[in-house]
Amino acid sequence: ENASVGSSVFQLLAVDSDPGPEGDVEYSIVGGDGIGKFAVDKSSGWLSVVSQLDHEVTSDYFLTVVARDKGLYPKSSQMTLVITVAGVNNRPPRFPGGSSST
């Protein structure tokens, strides 16, 4: 929740042991309810925040991510990534039952 817009929060990592372009991997987000909240760098796989997150509004996001090689006939793998937004203490202390006196 306190991750600032633009900060990196997770790195995707897919491995392709083919030589040359067939072994180079690019990443993308292709679905899920976190579209518009997160972006992925297609080369490095770093997932970053692109819109302010609020635990009280949404505590979990589900993203469908794809890793695709750069071969002439590209191969790909897909997975669902679950991102849990941890809440921060953003409320003042309060007395149960209402008012108090000193």
Reported as a single tens digit per residue, the pLDDT across 35-78 is: 899 999 999 999 999 999 888 888 899 999 999 999 999 999 99
Instruction: State the pTM of this model.
Output: 0.80
Cα–Cα distances (Å) from 19 to 39, 77, 102, in that order, read: 28, 18, 75
* Residue-level pLDDT at 56: 84
Neighbouring-strand partners of residue 11: 46
89 pLDDT higher than 70:
no
* Residue-level pLDDT at 98: 64
Parallel, antiparallel, or unpaired for β 38-40 and 46-49?
Answer: antiparallel
* Residue-level pLDDT at 54: 86
How distant is the alpha carbon of residue 11 from its chain centre? 9
